[in-house]
């Protein structure tokens, strides 16, 4: 039995088939992919870390 793995698009939560021919995975579309990129670029998305780690990095 080959079941197709599906994941939720990180932006709109639409079901996305995890297939090689889906160029935008894990996103459902180019629009969601670019929306995510824009959120990282304007710092509205970030990987959280404790404040003391940031202080060491920029000291």
- Residue 42 maps to which CATH number? 3.30.50.10
**Residue 27 domain-assigned?**
yes
Residue 36 lies in a domain: yes
pLDDT tier at 59 (50, 70, 90 boundaries)? low
The pLDDT value given to residue 24:
95
Q: Is the pLDDT of residue 58 over 90?
A: no
1 located within any domain: no
Summarised one tens digit per residue, pLDDT across range 24-43 is 999 999 999 999 999 999 98
- Give me the number of domains the chain comprises: 1
Residues 11-50 as b or e (16 or more Cβ within 10 Å = b): beeeebeeeeeeeebebbbeebbeebeeeeeeeeeeeeee
Annotated binding site: 9, 12, 28, 32
Instruction: Enumerate the known binding-site residues for Zn(2+).
Output: 9, 12, 28, 32
17 is a domain residue: yes
């Amino acid at each position: 039995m080959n079941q197709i793995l599906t994941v939720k698009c990180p932006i709109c939560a639409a079901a996305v088939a995890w297939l090689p021919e889906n160029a935008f995975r894990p996103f459902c579309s180019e629009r969601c992919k670019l929306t995510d990129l824009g959120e990282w670029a304007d710092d509205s998305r970030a990987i959280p870390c404790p404040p003391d780690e940031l202080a060491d990095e920029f000291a």
